[in-house]
A and B are shown apart, each in its own frame.
Chain A
Amino acid sequence: MLRRLCRVAATSWRSAQSNCHSPKILKQLSAAEREKFLNSFDVVFCDCDGVVWYTLRDFIPGSAQALAELQRRGKRLTFVTNNSISSVAEHLHKFAQQAQLHVLKVGRPLMCVSWFVSHYCWPAGTDCASGAGHLRSPAGDWLCWADLLPGDAVVQAAAARCWLPANAGGELVGSGLLTAIQPVSFGQPEGVIIRSLAELREAIFGGEPVAAVIIDVDFNLTATKLMRAHIQLQNPNCLFLAGAADALIPFGDRDIIGPGPFIDVVAQSTGRQPTVLGKPGEALRQLLRQHHAHIPANRVLFIGDSLASDIGFARASGYQTLLVLTGGSSEADLAKLPAGHAQMPDYVADCLGDLCAKPH
């Protein structure tokens, strides 16, 4: 999808810098321009994979220094990641390896899909219908998810069983919500081979009805899980939530298929559109806007490595955008965008470290 969207026209952004629709190259800003840029935002949303660190490797050189510089300047820094494979705790542990960073001390430092989902199903401060107690989100103060769903639907999702064909289950367990939101395994136990039509039928139609279907990255996603989701979603009261919706995920030197196409299979078969709580989902976009309710959108900078999932997503909210070339998008991808394209970033940097590189 990303590639297809990018394959539009061949305008080199380097040769067309004077055009106001072309991105400014961070390294080439003068000292005065750099100061002006750094003073032009108060809130920073920052992606993690491909921006702060590589998917399999370590911190991208210079990224920790750049984040520390943003914190030193008093920017409100929040990480927005589609990666629910690593838990929030693991993410924070990774940040803690960098002495100059103080991510743990920030109010709501990191948001990932599983966290969004648990809060979507369970707004902060909502009384628990199943008697698990009065739950508050760790942040406690800034999210009101109830606007997004009719109140009774939320209660239903939280009180009834919720089916999670995704790794998000682990995060929900970790956040203490398991007593309320019960991940239900599907008819076919993990790793069991289906050999007959009867077993296939049990995998698709067996088990209890669920109140919500959630699809995110699942390394063991099976066709039968999606087929079961299709059947459960015939019930119009069953919620359809999706996490990361990337069509392709950069992985080493190539792309692998992301969760997006699997979500699309169910969306097409059921004729229902999911509430997408990962980038570039509309529901997530609304939530992020609530995060800076008193700060205008043009005072927000969004930093990411994906033209579709980060830049296009952020521009639709009116944020300033910075594309870094250390992840899913290359200079060539950018060059293919026509001037003024909806995924054209305001700024480009070879890496996040360019934020604090010495101006010429």
Chain B
Amino acid sequence: MSTPQHILQLSAEQRRQFVDSFDWVFSDIDGVIYNLDTEVPNASQAYAALERAGKRLTYVTNNSVRTSEKTVRRFAKSNLQVAPQQIWHPAQTLVYYLRSIKFEGLIYIMASPQFKAVLQEAGFQLLDGPNHFIEDNYEDLARNIFDKQPVRAVVIDVDFNLTSSKLLRAHLYLRQPDCLLITGATDRLLPVGKGLNIIGPGAFASILVEASGKQPIVMGKPGRALGDMLLQQHNISDPRRVLMIGDMLAQDVRFGRMFGFQTLLVLTGGCTHDQLLAETDPELLPDYYADSVFDLVSVLAELVPKAHG
């Protein structure tokens, strides 16, 4: 187990080796390029530099609340030209996955309207609710959670209006042995500011995992199904040629390590330098780290002219 190295502390030779060691970049978005309301200063310059260096970029986010179109527009404002196909989020990944297993049938879903729209546009049949107030008696609860429709998959991702009655209802569908449990974003805590977290969707998804005893099929990082599809869709045979950039140890770094990618942690989001130093789990330790993804600009700037010369 080697200690993570700050990319600005690499020697000139190490920097060259680092830049030459990958062809693909899988990059997270929130906490790397944007935080909730603000942009990470000059982050877009790093991606422009990666593109100039001939790296192929794919954005892998756990955030399905922001649509691909919206992300493309926001990137464009920062002079980053990105095609919608370059953006992978759990809703989009789920469409690929359901098509790959030739899924048919009813889906009970707890997710944002944006997530549901992606599935509906792809032709899948959705069921949700209850979306109204439940009276304080067990009879009304029963009316709202017991349902005989043949649900073949339960999907849970970020839902601002998630309720306990939705989870109770989902748990009852999952009693059917052939009903799949599919989860999106896995984050148990979401950083929303300096030292401030809110409870994330992973905590709610885990209620269903525990209660049903089912292994979830995970569409967000660090899901195995997600990684398999990324490798397959991009025809990547050597995962060492992928650099995973992200701000979360449990999502981005773990995901990268699971698939043998190289990993670069940036300290602009959900992990502080102290937290990185305190981490002892080798599955959560990145190969490299940087204060910001912008640090890549200077690493690449010194090398790119030489590479072309």
Interface residues of A (CB under 8 A from B): 1, 55-56, 85, 167, 170, 190-191, 193-195, 197, 199-200, 204, 218-224, 226-227, 230-231, 247-248, 251-252, 254, 256-257, 261-262, 265-266, 268-269
Contact = CB atoms under 8 A, between A and B. Distances in A.
Given A197-B36, A261-B210, A262-B207, A223 B165 contact: no
B132 interface: yes
A224 B133 CA distance: 15
B10 interface: no
Contact of A265 (B138, B159, B165, B199): B199
Contacts of A223: 159-163, 199, 204
A222 to B, nearest CB: 5
B164 A262 contact: yes
B134 interface: yes
A247 B208 CA distance: 12
Nearest to A261: B207
B134 A219 contact: yes
Interface string B123-152: 000000001111111111110010000000
B301 interface: no
A56 B139 contact: yes
Chain B's interface size range is 35 or more
A194 B113 CA distance: 11
27 contacts: A56-B138, A56-B142, A85-B136, A167-B136, A194-B160, A195-B160, A219-B140, A220-B134, A220-B164, A220-B165, A221-B163, A222-B164, A223-B160, A223-B163, A223-B199, A227-B199, A230-B197, A230-B198, A230-B199, A256-B172, A257-B167, A261-B207, A261-B210, A261-B211, A265-B199, A265-B203, A268-B203
A268 B197 CA distance: 13
B36 A265 contact: no
Contacts of A191: 132-133
A248 B211 contact: yes
B188 interface: yes
Contact of B133 (A167, A190, A195, A226): A190
A309 to B, nearest CB: 16
